[in-house]
Structure formats: C-alpha cells, structure tokens
Structure 1
Amino acid sequence: MEKSSAATPARHSAQSTWRTLLVYGILALIIYFGHQYLQTALGERALAAVPLEKLTLEEALSASRASDKPVLLDLAAIWCPSCRKLDQQVLSDPAVVEVIRNKYVFTRVEFESATGETVQQKYQVKGFPTLLVVDGNGNLIRQLPLSFEPQEFIRSL
C-alpha cells in the first residue's frame, strides 16, 4: 500500500506537467496562426492599394512581347513586412506608378505559389521582395536594388 500512495503523487505530477505543456503548446499555436493571419491581412490591404494592374506572369510576358516593354517582376510574399513596406511606400507612389506604366509591364508573383517556386529556381532568388526586369521571353535583364524611397527606386528603374 505504501507503494501505491508514493506512485500517486508522481503520477499526478506527470499529468500536471503534460497538461501544462499542452496548454502552452495550444497557446503557442494560437499566437503563431493569429500572427500569420494578421500579417496576411495587412499584406492584402497594402497590395490592394497598389494601383498597378495585377497580371499573371504569363499575361505580363505576352503583353511585353506585344508592347516591346520589359516586364518588372515583383516576387513577394503576402505576409512579408518588407514586401508590404515596398507596396505602401514605393509601388503606391504616383510618380513610381507612372514610370512603371510608361516603361514596363508589371507583374507580382506570390513567393509561395507554384509560379513563385519556378521564378525562384529559374532566377536563383533567395529572398523577397525581389524585383527583376525580364524580357518578353523571360530572360533576365537585371535585378533591381531594393529601395523604399520612391525617387531612388525611380532612378534604379
């Protein structure tokens, strides 16, 4: 009988530890997914404010061949704070938008999409946001330096 009474506190302690770990695990998941949801919602709002036409990569390449303008390819992730900053501070700026509309065909490719994976592999992209200038056949012309200042961004275009 002494044996069973000694085992009861140990079993209670183990159950208490597992409950605590379970509660912390669930709390961590709620925080993680809540944060991801918030970042995605903020990214969608920032992207919606970009007044550039949202073409697929194939549509942009086709328009590039038809217009003889290069493609400005923005590889970004909807939940990425730096991508959101680029959308809010640069790609929403009227002067930047005017230059892009006059000289380029714009496309945004989502980093985590199938097209995004292809773009990452083809152009050896390691991070985002990444801005590439490609011709109508998808050949890389150059990669633009990342800038969050509209006038500096225009100069790099």
Structure 2
Amino acid sequence: MKKVFWMLMMLTVTLGAAVAGDDKTPKGSEPGIQFTESSWKEVLKRAKAEKKVIFLDAYASWCGPCKLLQKKVFTQKEVGDYFNGKFINVKMDMEKGEGPALSQVYPLEAYPTLLFIDGNGRVLKKVIGYQSPENLLSIGKSVKASI
C-alpha cells in the first residue's frame, strides 16, 4: 500500500511540474517576436524616427489561423531574432481597441493579414493567411531588401 501511495505522489508531482510549464526561461526573455504595446500613433512616430518598417499582425480573437501564427510561428527563435532586430512589431485585434479605426485605414479582406508599413503609414507589403516560419522569414527579408 505504501508503494502505491508513493508512486501516486511521484506521479502527481511530476504531472504538476509539467502542467505548470516548469521551464527556467525568465519572463520577458522568451524566444520569438516581441510585440510592442504602444498606441498606433506612437508606433508610427517611432518607425519614422528609427527609420524602421512596422510589422503589423492584424488578427481577430476568434480566428484559428491567427492563433496558429501566434503559437507556432511568432514564438520561433529564428523568426523573433530577425523580426525583433529589423521591424517594429505590432499585433492588433482589429475588432477591439484601436483595431476598428485602423481597419478603416488598412482595409482587410481576411484574417490574419500581415502588413509591412513604413513610418509614413504606407503599406509596403500585404500578406493574407497563415505563413510557416520559413515563409514569414522569407517575406520579411524580401521587404527589407526592397527598401
């Protein structure tokens, strides 16, 4: 009986650590794209001052492919390393907050829509739909090469 008790205790502790996501990565240093929380006006001002392109993930909370991008693509180290160094990254729920007004400026056909925008607010590239990490990197590199 004691063996069963100890086996159950060990199983509980092991599962508890797994469910809690017991990784040693400190908050804020996760790999992947780091998105700014700034207002759109501030993002445009920053892009102009730093002479950087804005990468805008225009999504909706109910969108399945948007959730996949967030979970499977934006979290990739290689994607984050490139995008964090080359772009000002913004994700915006286009149905909440500043999103509806922004969707008037940048009309959307579907979710997700990935926009590369210069500091003057001009769209340099528009990509619709889910992209693999490799495709997103390739698109980002082609945008950078074109400016």
When normalised by structure 2's length, the TM-score is 0.66
Report the equivalent of 2:125: 142
- The equivalent position to 2:47 in structure 1, one of 42, 52, 64, is 64
Task: Check the 8 A contact 1:71/1:134 in 2, yes or no.
Answer: yes
**Aligned residue runs from structure 1 range 68-87, under 5 A:** 68-87=51-70
- Number of residues of Structure 1 aligned to a counterpart in Structure 2: 110
- The equivalent position to 2:99 in structure 1, one of 103, 110, 116, is 116
CA distance in 2 between counterparts of 1:97 and 1:49 reads 6
CA distance in 2 between counterparts of 1:109 and 1:50 reads 17
CA distance in 1 between counterparts of 2:136 and 2:128 reads 8
Rg (Cα) greater in structure: 1
Report the equivalent of 1:38: none
**Aligned residue runs from structure 1 range 34-113, under 5 A:** 51-55=33-37, 56-113=39-96
Q: Which runs of 4+ in 1 moved over 4 A?
A: 48-51
Q: Which amino acid is the alignment partner of residue 86 of structure 1?
A: L
Q: Which amino acid is the alignment partner of residue 80 of structure 1?
A: C
Q: Which amino acid is the alignment partner of residue 79 of structure 2?
A: V
Report the identity percentage: 25
CA distance in 2 between counterparts of 1:118 and 1:49 reads 31
The change in CA–CA distance for 1:51 and 1:102 in structure 2 (over 3 A counts) is closer
Report the equivalent of 1:45: none
CA-atom RMSD in angstroms: 2.1
What SS does structure 2 have at the residue aligned with 1:148? coil
When normalised by structure 1's length, the TM-score is 0.62
Question: Which 5+ residue runs of structure 1 have no aligned equivalent?
Answer: 1-47
Query: 1:51: how far off?
Result: 4.8
The change in CA–CA distance for 1:125 and 1:145 in structure 2 (over 3 A counts) is closer
Report the equivalent of 1:153: 136
Question: Which 5+ residue runs of structure 2 have no aligned equivalent?
Answer: 1-29, 141-147
CA distance in 1 between counterparts of 2:31 and 2:42 reads 21
CA distance in 1 between counterparts of 2:31 and 2:41 reads 23
CA offsets per residue over residues 23-72 of structure 1, 9 Å max, x none?
xxxxxxxxxxxxxxxxxxxxxxxxx9965133332232122112101100
User: Quick check: which one's helix share is greater?
Assistant: 1
